[in-house]
Amino acid sequence: MTYGRMEWEDTDTAAQDASTRDGAGDGRSLDRAYKPGQSVTGHLILDVGDEGGTVSYNGSEDPNADGPVFSVNLPE
């Protein structure tokens, strides 16, 4: 589930929600649970404030997790 768990930030902007409920095209949903070994491909649409910056996924189920599960640096 990505909705409400994706954040975008850059050097001038504090972390803010980047998730959206919008979809693109037809295909399998990324917002569901898959069993170990299963995979899916599709599109993820994010609402970011500007070019560049960093998008982070903060969907860890671990209450002791420190920081995002993963981050992606976007091109300028």
Q: Where do the domains of the chain lie?
A: 1-76
State how far the Cα of 47 lies from the Cα of 35, in Å rounded to an integer.
28
Q: Does position 13 have pLDDT exceeding 90, yes or no?
A: yes
Kindly report whether the global pTM for this prediction surpasses the value 0.85.
Answer: no
pLDDT tier, 22 (very low <50, low <70, confident <90, very high otherwise): low
Helix (H) or strand (E) holding 8: strand 6-10
pLDDT tier, 10 (very low <50, low <70, confident <90, very high otherwise): very high
State how far the Cα of 8 lies from the Cα of 45, in Å rounded to an integer.
12
Q: Does position 74 have pLDDT exceeding 90, yes or no?
A: yes
Residue range 28-63, pLDDT digits in tens: 666 667 788 988 777 778 889 899 999 998 887 777
